Structure 1
């Protein structure tokens, strides 16, 4: 009896292709080379500080070094991923990154990983986390993300936050604190323009967002002619956060409410919604009825 020739076994899951083997060898060689270079050219703290001070002294970095967003009736402020990456570059011998390990469309979530590795000190901070394909919106609660671009942006935003944490966990605290102080000083000093010009520029920028000068004065607690460099710095941080959609305009600059006493006082002076508006008239922005 003739038996058929034995068929070759199907490739198993543990079989490594040539491309995979090459990539693994390249990754190992890359790690070894990074460690070798870091040992041959160790960082100089003095040079790193000079590079950091130069970077934090520019408005280009200082203007996007901080974020602000509302939480539990207040606001949370901190340093952005832009500052974190700059500090990693100036500190030197640090590798960092964020990757999407797996996307599960059935469960609508992505498994991601962010890391920062000090090659010279051989310290590594890794964060593995799950990002749901959803976002929270006011009035609607949790809303599922369907569009691929929305999912990508959601993953990128969550990855950037974890990457910032990983980088800051690798860099010394004194280096971070000095950089933050210098960035705030740069924001307070501005770009060399006189204070009245900086104030007018801030008013015009927020006017484009629908925020009047009166609402800015209400937020800062004093008229514009008394604003300081620190006030302009706070407004600049808020403006950048609004542009990044971290905070809503109405949350940061709530509309002023008219009290019953003000209504009675306006009525006693013959003012009201139908009276001719004046500069101090709280009904000035009301449409005619």
Structure 2
């Protein structure tokens, strides 16, 4: 994922354009000097070359499918390929940015990233984009990031360049993911998700002790202890199945990405500063995931030691 800089004076809006050449020329109308116009023409020429090369070396969809399956059969990718978050009383799961990036690399001829359009001391205007160069399909989103970090003790301005960059990158990842999902064909995404699930299930019915230890360490960062996990699972952690581990990985990845809070997933957990534990809808979420885990564990356990 790239983070580029530029200048623009338009107000932040959400853009969905299928023609990147046209979008660039429209943006260029705001240029104030000849140098900017020259830079615009240079970029337009580069885009034309990219399109010509992409058309010359078109992707083979059958080879793409084979490569996607091969990538998703790698445990290192499969373990980071999915995430989950609570929404409307249910847990919604989907492909992570890592999985979507892997699919984009397998397809080729896709450019994506984050562009910094305008910056002040207090806020930054950003654009996330994904462009299928071969099919000339582009999706982008613009939004404003306030350079302020909120804490329980109050808010403070971000002046350090590294802190500002990390905030922009973190907030941009979900938007880049959404843009990529808009240009990648849904059958390819579905193939990747099913392959990932199979890969995780084929790792064995019971998770090894060292894997359990790494999972405990990952959740400990958020103050989630063994007791919380075992209450969520309904049994001791040493009986953890591959399906249950997959659900927990998705939850942990969601917490890492700032999607949801521990109390929204784990009964009895109270976030610091929260007056009440989780609401009743989260209990229904947990019951649903437990049923899915039990069903998946039963299917994975057939024929395994």
The answer, yes or no, to whether TM exceeds 0.5 is: yes
Q: Number of matched residues?
A: 235
The alignment status of 1:99 with 2:115, answered yes or no, reads: yes
Q: Could you tell which deviates more after superposition, 127-136 or 34-43?
A: 127-136
Could you say if the C-alpha distance between residues 97 and 212 of structure 1 is closer, same or farther in structure 2, counting changes exceeding 3 Å?
closer
The 1-side partners of 2:127 and 2:224 are apart by: 39
Could you say if the C-alpha distance between residues 123 and 206 of structure 1 is closer, same or farther in structure 2, counting changes exceeding 3 Å?
closer
The 1-side partners of 2:143 and 2:224 are apart by: 38
The 2-side partners of 1:206 and 1:60 are apart by: 15
Q: 1:104–1:110: 8 Å Cα contact kept in structure 2?
A: yes
Which structure 2 residue ranges, 5 or more long, are not aligned?
1-30, 271-305
TM-score where L is the length of structure 1: 0.69
Q: 1:199–1:224: 8 Å Cα contact kept in structure 2?
A: no
Q: 2:149–2:158: 8 Å Cα contact kept in structure 1?
A: no
Which structure 1 residue ranges, 5 or more long, are not aligned?
1-12, 258-289
Tell me the equivalent position of 2:210: 201
Q: 1:96–1:115: 8 Å Cα contact kept in structure 2?
A: yes
Q: 1:117–1:123: 8 Å Cα contact kept in structure 2?
A: yes
Displacement of 1:163 after TM fit?
0.9
The 1-side partners of 2:216 and 2:130 are apart by: 40
Q: In structure 2, which of residues 68, 73, 80 is the aligned counterpart of residue 52 of structure 1?
A: 68
The 2-side partners of 1:116 and 1:89 are apart by: 12
The 2-side partners of 1:178 and 1:199 are apart by: 28
Q: 2:77–2:99: 8 Å Cα contact kept in structure 1?
A: yes
Could you say if the C-alpha distance between residues 207 and 93 of structure 1 is closer, same or farther in structure 2, counting changes exceeding 3 Å?
closer
**Match of 1:64, SS?**
coil
Displacement of 1:86 after TM fit?
1.2
Could you say if the C-alpha distance between residues 256 and 145 of structure 1 is closer, same or farther in structure 2, counting changes exceeding 3 Å?
closer
Could you say if the C-alpha distance between residues 195 and 213 of structure 1 is closer, same or farther in structure 2, counting changes exceeding 3 Å?
farther
Q: 2:231–2:267: 8 Å Cα contact kept in structure 1?
A: no
TM-score where L is the length of structure 2: 0.66
Tell me the equivalent position of 1:38: 54
Tell me the equivalent position of 2:130: 116
Displacement of 1:155 after TM fit?
0.9
The 2-side partners of 1:70 and 1:169 are apart by: 22
Q: 2:147–2:164: 8 Å Cα contact kept in structure 1?
A: yes
Tell me the equivalent position of 1:66: 82
